[in-house]
Amino acid sequence: MATSPSDPRQTDRLSNLPDALLVTILSLLPTRMAARTCVLCRRFRHLGAALWETSPSLDLISQEFSPEEILASFFEAMGDRALLRRSPSHPLLSLRIELEMFFRFPPYETKYPFLHSLCDKARSLAVRHLTLEGCLFWSTWPSLSLIFSTDSLQSLSLSQLYVHWHQTSVISSGVTLINLKNLSIGFYTGDPTKLNLLLSQLPSLEVLSIGHDTTHPFSISSQTIRQLKLTICMDSSIQKGVHLSLPSLELLHVENYGFGLPHIRADIPSLRKAVLHLNWLHQKDCITVSGLLNSISHAEELILHLKESDREMYPFPILLEEGKDPPKFSNLKHLEVTMCFHEHNFEAIVSLLHHSPALESVKLVHKAPFSMTRKRKMDGWRSMLPQNADGNCNYVHFTNLHLGQQREFMKLVGKKFTPKMVELHC
């Protein structure tokens, strides 16, 4: 059936939108996809600059281009149109550059001056949020000092920046990031004193995410940081300590990779929430875990994901140091623990609950080591949690404990742990 010109199905609603709204919509799309809107109609490509070129949010991602397209300078053409030729009348709020690994090898080193030009142009446009991935493997990359002097930045993410000892002067001198609130550094292996010098030059910094391998002793000191995510990568043969001196810290997130866990000493009196993802734990790590729990015992919310090494044949206590009293969590309101709740860990949890009088909710999730089925004595690794409503012992969840005593929770806390109980559960 033919439609009349007044038929609403024929209305071009897109053309009725104001330019500002169209640009906002385009800013939510990946830049290369936004560029394809030029084929829609003349309006998208003939306004002095195409609408997509005026977007306040740009991303240049090499993975979206084939190697042949990159060699043919398609990547540079996109960067040139979207950024290098941008008029100062079109502000740039955020820029994201992601490079594939092949950019680090011939013949792609010819792209380095181009990348420097992109960062320089972003700096001149007072970019506020900058993310660089895969761009900073090169030990003498000249844009590093330029980036740390871009005083308009409010957030900076250098997700694959590996700062070595001889490079630390690059990011600890001439820093003018007075407005920076959020900083993410991939892996810092340089002089920790230079890192703290950098942090002292960031008066507005509130959120820090940083990775570190513990080849060297490591410390983080700041008066302003409120949130910290610390990723630790280490070799079990190296036991260097980590010291945190953060009087304003409210949220701590610690995650480890590799074998072993360094001793962590934390002076964080304002802490409210702690999230610990600790992997490949051995029996010797119990002292470190216990010490860390003592450092955060004043938190109101605690999330623990503890994974014992699957190379261990028999269960061992990992949550609390054997023979010592558990820390008193006098302010703890919300507790979530994911771990293997075998005999030793279950007993430790019961002790911890006894020392947490302000609890409002508790969630316990049983997760056995990955290769538990390999030549192990299965019974010793079974969950000791009470049976839940689904008829299994894989999890328990209690809420609203502050409104009254739940019978099931009191039964859990009131358990007296004996070898006979273990036999009944197994």
Segment among 79-83, 210-214, 357-361, 393-397 with least mean pLDDT: 210-214
**Rg value, the chain, Cα:** 27
For the whole model, what pTM was predicted? 0.83
- Is 12 among the domain residues? no
Domain limits for position 365: 20-425
Burial 127-142 (b: 16+ CB within 10 A, else e): bbbbbbbbbbeeeebe
Q: Are 299 and 273 in contact (CB under 8 A)?
A: yes
The whole-number average pLDDT for the span 317-346 is 88
**For residue 419, what pLDDT band results from cuts at 50, 70 and 90?**
very low
The whole-number average pLDDT for the span 333-357 is 91
Instruction: State residue 425's pLDDT score.
Output: 33
Strand duo 182-188 + 227-234: pairing: unpaired
Our count of domains for the chain comes to 1
Distance CA 338, CA 422 (A): 20
Write down the number of H helices and E strands in the chain. 11, 16
- Is 14 among the domain residues? no
User: Closest by alpha carbon to 296, among 271, 331, 319?
Assistant: 271
Query: Sign of the CA dihedral 78, 83, 86, 89?
Result: positive
Quote the percentage of the chain above a pLDDT of 90: 29
Distance CA 219, CA 204 (A): 20
Using DSSP's 3-state secondary structure scheme, residue 27 falls into: helix
Could you give phi then psi for residue 313, rounded to 5 degrees?
A: -85, -30
- Is 170 among the domain residues? yes
- Is 37 among the domain residues? yes
- Is 352 among the domain residues? yes
pLDDT tens column, 226-257: 999 999 886 644 556 889 999 999 999 999 88
- Is 9 among the domain residues? no
Q: Are 187 and 162 in contact (CB under 8 A)?
A: yes
* HSE-CB for 199 with a 13 A CA cutoff: 25
Exposed / middle / buried, residue 243 (Cβ in 10 Å: 0-12, 13-18, 19+) = middle
Distance CA 80, CA 156 (A): 22
In angstroms, the Cα distances linking 296 to 39, 268, 358, 398 are 57, 8, 15, 22
Quote the percentage of the chain above a pLDDT of 70: 73
- Is 248 among the domain residues? yes
Q: How far apart are the first and last CA of the chain?
A: 73
- Is 4 among the domain residues? no
Distance CA 86, CA 93 (A): 13
For the chain, what is the mean pLDDT? 79
Better pLDDT: 426 or 287: 287
* HSE-CB for 367 with a 13 A CA cutoff: 16
pLDDT tens column, 104-149: 544 444 556 788 888 899 999 999 999 988 765 544 456 778 888 8
